[in-house]
Structure 1
Amino acid sequence: MTRYAIDRAHNTLLALWSTGIGDTAIIVARLTHDQLPHNTRELAGALTRLSHVCWRSYTHPASAADPDAPNGLARQRQQERDAFARILPLITATRPSDQPATTKVEHAALALARVLRVLDASQLTTLVTTDVAAELAAIEQAERGDLSDRAQQAATLSREDASPLQISQADRLLRDNPFGNQDLLTQVDPTAAAIAAAHWFHAALAVTARHTGMHPLHVVAGAEQPDKPLAIESLTDVTTAMDDGTRARHVVMPLIRNALHIADGHLHGILDVQERLTAAHHLIDKARTTHPELNLTPATIHLPLTALDPARPAPDLLDNLLHAITTCWHLYQHHTENPHSQEARQTFVTALREEAASRPERLL
């Protein structure tokens, strides 16, 4: 999403967004000295909130919700998306609307309109309206799978759905460079990129296990990251499911959706949680007999609800998978004559491409 800020040194309203490898900023409008600071800060806040609720229609599309759900979630999401058409008329209206707001998008647009009326500057309203229109166009562009220009901010968001075209694009980029590159991080929706990366990670596991004689789960254990202790759990989930024949899309999407639900304050998959609780109680009972000095109790056991960062689950999983592919190469390299030669690396990459190409059905 786009964040808005006031540059006090130059008295300007700025729009800032992430690109996957850093943030970019543009000047939306130059402010006048008679505009009170608290009013302009409210303007920045209202614009940020509007961007947030609008981008949520991208990350939580109606197509990803069960249309038959009793709470009508798919219908609610479609109503939020349909409200995009009413944003510009609401913020440019000279008088408050008589119609009550029924969506979060409309509430955010009306809040922005109130701030603009307080500031009472026609040129500022025109410039803000132009920027909001550009933001809405960026969301629509991202929905089409084009993450260029302002829509590039979608490369940092986690979506509940993934376009097959975006997955195919990520697959092509990984075929060119299985370790990932800048285009993968900035031009592809990270949910789609994570699906493709799971496919290539599983192929890397197979190549490395054959070459080293190690069990795939032992290879996974080598991908531990000191600053991300739960990364191994996410990789193990991917490995176990794909070993059972589950396709990459059907492995990755539940992981990301579960993390997004947790970020929203909802707990889905209660049976999985019950299994985790049962396993934790078995661990406590066993520890009391074999290792009483550990003093394990329900109060001392930490039970993660998700192995991914709920604030950015798709980029987090993508990072874990790319790190694991590199780990596979390092283990492969360690069991190779002339490990530092370019030939050894090329042999690994060639074997990886052949393995990934031999099982295309595992991707979608």
Structure 2
Amino acid sequence: MTKYAFDEERRALIATWETGDGHLARTVAVLPPSADHEGALRLAASLTTVSTMAWWTYTHPASAAENVEPDSEGWRRQHEREAFAEVPGHVRKPYLPNDQGYLVQSLVRVEEAAHRVGRAVHAIGDHELTEAVVADVEQELAAVERAERGDFSGRARQAVQLSRADASPLQVHAAHDFLHAHPLWSSKLFEEVDPTAAAVAAAHWLQAAAEVAGGVAGIDPVSVVVEADDIEALAVETPTLVLERLAAGESPRHVVVDLVAGAMIAGEGRLPDPDGLVDAIAEARARAEQYGPGDEELLAGLMPRVTPLDPARPAQDLLEDLLDGIRGCWLLYRSHADVDLDHAAEEEIDEKFFAAVRAEADAKRDRLL
């Protein structure tokens, strides 16, 4: 999201946003003399809230909800997104306290955030400032709309730092193409596509790589990353969990979106799967009693995590772990190559691995649908 700040030296309102390679900033407006310090900070804070609410509609699209029936979560998300059209008008003409001091407040969070910006600029009372703020808000909303279409140019670039509870098929196929060109790692996965969509493609490629490496090593593809961890320290838990679920017949998209959405729920302080967590805790207690009765340290180590991902950046965390898993497949494949690995032989083995993985990923590309 875009964060707004007050530059006290220049008396300027500035907007900053992250791009993946660093932060960019622009001056929204130089504040007039009528804007005191408190009013400037209030305006900056309210603009940050508008951006937060707007990008929330991107990370929590109605398409990711179970349904859009009236009063459902999907219905509420849809109303938040539809409110974009009214935001500029609310900034120009916000709800203000009436003669009795009562204030109407909107239940739609995007709208209410816009009204708060409007009240902040109304208190300052400068027409040029109001129009500059409206123009910047319109740019922010347009950035969200471009990100929804998969266009991460300009200000929409901040979307690559966000985790989304859905994955665009176009973005997934773009990520698939990046991995086809560079099966182990591509910076474009982090710079040009939505991380949730990139993780969907990476899960598909991990499954392909595990099948290739498992075939050479003579082991179950699900166990490939665990085996490779003996060669080089790797992220094991999440790639193995993904491989287990894929082997059970789930699609890459379903597994990734479920994990990312669950971590997003955990990041909000809620439990994504309360019943599953209760069962997992009971199992941990039983195992602790079996292997070390009364050992509190063992019990603590066996306790399940609410989510295997970093709740602050779940999609990026998952993508990184899946790419680490693909690297593990490559390491295991190399270790079973029946040649002395001089430089030329290494390149030959690598190319055989990449060719086999590409063939496997392409042959089963329908798993991405």
> Does 2:316 correspond to 1:315?
yes
> Does 2:141 correspond to 1:136?
yes
1:208 is displaced (CA, Å) by 1.8
> Does 2:207 correspond to 1:205?
no
Q: How does 1:45-64 map to 2 (within 5 A)?
A: 45-64=45-64
My pick for the range that moved more, 187-196 or 343-352, is 343-352
Is 1:287–1:296's contact at 8 Å kept on the other side of the alignment? no
My pick for the range that moved more, 274-283 or 348-357, is 274-283
Match in the other structure for 1:78: 78
Q: Tell me which of 256, 266, 277 is aligned to 1:262.
A: 266
- Alpha-carbon distance in structure 1 between the residues aligned to 2:193 and 2:73: 27
My pick for the range that moved more, 29-38 or 131-140, is 29-38
Identity, % of aligned positions: 39
Q: 1:355 to 1:8 in 2, by over 3 A?
A: same
Q: 1:297 to 1:215 in 2, by over 3 A?
A: closer
TM-score, normalised to structure 1, is 0.89
Aligned residues: 358
Letter in 2 for 1:38: E
1:217 is displaced (CA, Å) by 4.5
1:308 is displaced (CA, Å) by 0.6
My pick for the range that moved more, 204-213 or 31-40, is 31-40
- Alpha-carbon distance in structure 2 between the residues aligned to 1:24 and 1:9: 19
Structure 1 unaligned blocks of 5 or more:
none
Match in the other structure for 1:87: 87
- Alpha-carbon distance in structure 2 between the residues aligned to 1:42 and 1:295: 49
Match in the other structure for 2:361: 356
Match in the other structure for 1:21: 21
Match in the other structure for 1:286: 290
Q: How does 1:167-182 map to 2 (within 5 A)?
A: 167-182=172-187
1:11 is displaced (CA, Å) by 3.5
- Alpha-carbon distance in structure 1 between the residues aligned to 2:68 and 2:48: 33
Letter in 1 for 2:318: L
- Alpha-carbon distance in structure 2 between the residues aligned to 1:76 and 1:246: 29
1:345 is displaced (CA, Å) by 2.3
- Alpha-carbon distance in structure 2 between the residues aligned to 1:212 and 1:279: 32
Query: What is the SS of the residue equivalent to 1:146?
Result: coil
Residue deviations 1:184-226 (CA, integer Å, cap 9, x gap)? 21221111111000000111112222233454344312676xx
- Alpha-carbon distance in structure 1 between the residues aligned to 2:84 and 2:156: 16
Query: What is the SS of the residue equivalent to 1:13?
Result: strand
Is 1:90–1:97's contact at 8 Å kept on the other side of the alignment? no
1:340 is displaced (CA, Å) by 3.9
> Does 2:30 correspond to 1:30?
yes
Q: 1:84 to 1:75 in 2, by over 3 A?
A: same
Letter in 2 for 1:258: G
Query: What is the SS of the residue equivalent to 1:16?
Result: strand
Q: How does 1:331-342 map to 2 (within 5 A)?
A: 331-336=332-337, 337=339, 338=341, 340-341=343-344, 342=347
Structure 2 unaligned blocks of 5 or more:
99-103
Is 2:67–2:73's contact at 8 Å kept on the other side of the alignment? yes
Residue deviations 1:164-187 (CA, integer Å, cap 9, x gap)? 111111111111111232222122
Match in the other structure for 2:253: 249
